[in-house]
Amino acid sequence: MSEDETKSVVAKAFQDAADDYERVGPEFFDRFGRELVARAGLRPGMRVLDLGSGTGAALLPAAAEVGAAGRALGVDLAPGMVARLDRALTAAGLRHAEARVGDAEDPPADEAGWDRILAAHMLFFLPNLTDALARYQRLLRPDGVFACSTWGAEFPEWKPVYEALYGQIPAGTMPRLLPQREAFASDDALRTALETAGFGKVEHETVAYEVEYRDPAQWLEWNRSHGARAFWDAIPAEKLAASRDAAKAALEPLRRPDGVLPMPIAVRYTIAHRA
C-alpha cells in the first residue's frame, strides 16, 4: 500500500467515525490528551501545534493553557473531526485557536517557530515517520519541545478478543492503519527514532490505566467509534454478526463478577527536546 493509500484509509476511518468519536462509552482519548498537555510544559503566550488533532483531546486543554496571548493550531486529515473541533473551540470561546484540514506529516510552520508540537496517539498512523519527525524538529523554536503519547505494552489476555473480532477479514484486505509499529515497540525504539530525527534529550513515562465498560456490547460499540472502524468496515457483511458474537464470547472471561468489563491500557508519554 502506498503512502497516499495509507493516508486515505486513515482519513476515511476517522471521517466515518467523526459523529461517534469520544461520544460512546467512557471517556478515553480526552483523558489521555489532558495528561499529555499537563506534561508538555505549556505557558501563557506560547504557540502550540497539535498534530492529528481529532476532536480536541489535546488542542482544547492546550489552547486553554496558552491563553489569548498565545496561538493554538490543530491539523487533521478528516474534515468531520475538524468540523467538530471547530465547533468545540467556538463554544469554549477559544478565539486564538484554530482547526484545519491538513496532513500531519507536513504541517504548517509558525513565523516565530512553534514552542510546542503535540501528537496525541497519532504518530503510529504516519507512513513516513522518519521524515515527519525531522520536520517537526525543524519547526520548533530552539528551546521547543515535542510531546507525544503512544501505546505502551499490549495485554496478551486481550489478543483472543481482537482475533475473534477481526479474524474474518479476508487475507490481503486488512487495513494498513499502523505502518510504523516497530518504532513504538519499546522506549528505546522510539528514542532512537527521535534522536535520528535530530532531537536531543528524550524522556518517557508510561502510565497504567483501567477503563471500565458496562458490558461487552458497550465495548464493541466503542471499538467501532474510533480509528478501528476501518477494521470493522473490512469484515464481510455476511460475517459481521458472527464476528461480533465471537468477540462477545471472548470478552466474557474478562468481565468482573459485577459484570463490568475493565480494559487495561498502558500509555507512554514522551517529551523530546529540540537539540
Closest CA to 79 of 19, 148, 5, 2: 19
In a domain, 218, yes or no: no
In a domain, 251, yes or no: no
In a domain, 236, yes or no: no
Q: How far apart are CA 17 and CA 225, in angstroms?
A: 5
**Taken in order 237, 155, 227, 105, is the CA torsion positive or negative?**
negative
Q: What is the pLDDT of residues 80-126, one digit of tens each?
A: 999 999 999 999 999 999 999 999 999 999 999 999 999 999 999 99
In a domain, 146, yes or no: yes
Kindly state the DSSP code that residue 181 receives in the 8-state scheme: G
Q: Domain count for the chain, please give it.
A: 1
Q: Measure CA 62 to chain center.
A: 16
Query: 37 lies in which domain range?
Result: 3-154+177-210+264-274
In a domain, 164, yes or no: no
Closest CA to 89 of 80, 79, 99: 99
In a domain, 161, yes or no: no
Q: What is the pLDDT of residues 168-194, one digit of tens each?
A: 999 988 887 776 778 999 999 999 999
pTM score > 0.75 for this model?
A: yes
pLDDT band at 260 (very low <50, low <70, confident <90, very high): very high
In a domain, 217, yes or no: no
Give the CATH number for residue 198: 3.40.50.150
DSSP string across 204-260: EEEEEEEEEESSHHHHHHHHTTSTTHHHHHHS-GGGHHHHHHHHHHHHGGGS-TTS-
In a domain, 143, yes or no: yes
